[in-house]
Amino acid sequence: MDQNFPLGNFFSPNKNPGEKASNSSNLPAKDAISNNVQNSSFSTEELSAITSEVLAILRPQLGQEKFSAYFEGAFQAKSITRSEIEFIVPSQFTKKMISEYYLGDISRAIQSILGKEYEIVLSTVSSPVVFNAPKVDVKPVNSPYSINKATSVKEMTFSINDLKPLGEDLQAKVEGTVFEKVESSSPFGKTVDTKKTFDNFVVGPSNNLAHASSVAVTKNPGKVYSSLYIHGNSGLGKTHLLHAVANKISEDFPALKIYITTANEFMSEMIAAMKEQDIQSFRKKYSEMIDVLMIDDIHELKNRTGTQNEFFHVFNELQRKKKQLIFTSDKDPKDITGIEDRIKTRLSSALVVEIQQPDLETRIAILKKKAIEEDIYLPDDVVNLIASCIKSNIRELEGSLIKLGAYSSVFNVDIDLETAKEQLKLNEEDEKKTVNVETIAKTVSNYYKIPVPDIRSKARNKDITLARHVAMYFSYYIAKATLVEIGEYFGKRDHTSVMHGVNKIKTMQNKEESFAQTMYEIESLL
């Protein structure tokens, strides 16, 4: 049989079998990809047609979001041989994601179009990598092309079991795993995330009031605090608390109808209802069919006069019926610009609580709890490094942990301090943040305007004692000094005196929100 079996002759319905294929066509892909599509036994027109057919099958299967991210305008057939099809993709990351999650869909699409199984080759402009397509048994679907099943061509298989992936490909696998983990752990919209509960929410001085208020709401929805408003910077756990409340109410009050949405989704839903001239159904849904309404990022209603008007009526109606309302935002209600005063007044009438940046202990606890959930082992020095360098965002903390876990799994190695620094891009500037007892004493001295010799002395003045205990606390948790070392530095005290001071600071942080913020401010200076 001819080495180059002329399958291309069967793909142009307007072409005679003996006619030579045309090589001119405008490919429906990005210029960077189109310029790299080379001639094969198929014309560019045929390759373009095959690509269009594959994409037409993939679009409804994957959904518009995934399709747009990895395929639309960024996926093009380059060549077809007897046993394989090569596709061009724009980047290593896209290649990684497609090869990990969508090869089966592509293989089924190709088999339904061409009538046989092909090996899938994904390549970027500079580096082709071959992946095995899973074997599938698919009944061919109708196609606008005249297809020859080519039953006389021998079926061929290919294996890469003996090939070891390069380091850069393994690193790409790490990045892909991180992407998938972060995406899957961040559900949005109306679906309650069953993984976000009160049990796995780490409570500390920065969030204990928000946590306690959320738990109180679940005891008697709509009765204890009919409206709850939680605000704080992004990534501190506001959305986690929303889902935790939803899970608890669903468990204890299964008859109640719970609805989680965002301000933007609320607005989009209202606009769609107006276009359909069915605004009454929209109003009825929110005012009559919901027992617990949770709106994330309520500040996004700013400058949306029409949406604010609908929200105003929904708020009033649900509050009148003693339903439960919970909102989150990155700002206090009174600080949101572009919101009507009547809306601010109603939001301010809720129980308003703030989530602040987590302190060091809380960050360490979050990392350790998340590590247990993800079955990732990290030594204490690595946990302390991450917690010391990433201070303001829990989401970033967890993302760092997930990346290290993925690296450990892909490369089959344990994570040590140097690996953590390299993978998390912690440079020398970050290392300087690892301070000692002396630098801590100087920082505390500057903050409280108390000389270091006084802090180290035997003086029992109230202000000096507080500064000394704060310095001991940070020396123990950040500098990781021993109780004996700390006691020696601060006036040759014994270890029991040091522990007493450390515990006193922990108690004050838990009881006094303003002091917890003070501790965060001092830590930010270290």
Residue type, 285: K
Instruction: Quickly state the pLDDT bin for 170 (edges 50, 70, 90).
Output: low
**CA atoms in the 13 A half-sphere facing the CB of 177:** 19
> Which residue is associated with the tokens 């501190």?
236
DSSP 332: -
Write down the domain spans for the chain: 7-163, 208-354, 437-525
Structure tokens at 146: 């005249």
Residue 378 has pLDDT above 90, yes or no: no
User: Mean pLDDT highest for which of 6-10, 65-69, 406-410, 464-468?
Assistant: 464-468
Q: Which has more pLDDT, 292 or 32? A: 292
> How confident is the model over 291-313, as pLDDT tens digits?
999 999 999 898 888 889 999 99
Residue 371 has pLDDT above 90, yes or no: no
Q: Which has more pLDDT, 27 or 296? A: 296
Determine which helix (DSSP H) or strand (DSSP E) holds 351, and give its type and residue range.
strand 351-354
> Which residue is associated with the tokens 């099943």?
149
Residue 60 has pLDDT above 60, yes or no: yes
pLDDT value at position 229?
Answer: 96
Q: Which has more pLDDT, 300 or 9? A: 300
pLDDT mean across residues, the chain? 77
Nearest alpha-carbon partner for 299 in 263, 271, 334, 268: 263
Share of the chain above pLDDT 90, in %: 27
pTM greater than 0.95 (yes/no): no
120-134, 177-191, 334-348: least confidently modelled range: 177-191
Mean pLDDT of 414-443: 75
> How confident is the model over 462-493, as pLDDT tens digits?
999 999 999 999 998 888 888 999 999 999 99
Nearest alpha-carbon partner for 101 in 61, 140, 51: 61
Tell which phi-psi region holds residue 63, choosing left (phi > 0), alpha (psi between -120 and 50) or beta: left
The alpha carbon of residue 319 and the mean position of all alpha carbons in its chain are separated, in whole angstroms, by: 33
| 437-525 and 208-354 share a CATH fold | no
pLDDT value at position 82?
Answer: 83
Residue type, 239: T
CATH 3.40.640.10 fits 7-163, yes or no: no
> How confident is the model over 178-228, as pLDDT tens digits?
444 433 333 334 578 888 999 989 888 888 899 999 999 999 999 888 999
> Which residue is associated with the tokens 């501790």?
519
Could you tell me which CATH number the domain at 437-525 has?
Answer: 1.10.1750.10
Residue 19 has pLDDT above 50, yes or no: no
Fold of 208-354: Rossmann fold (3.40.50)
CB under 8 Å to 484, separation ≥6 — which residues? 495
Residue 3 has pLDDT above 60, yes or no: no
Contact 409, 374 (CB under 8 A): no
Instruction: Quickly state the pLDDT bin for 91 (edges 50, 70, 90).
Output: confident
Instruction: Quickly state the pLDDT bin for 244 (edges 50, 70, 90).
Output: very high
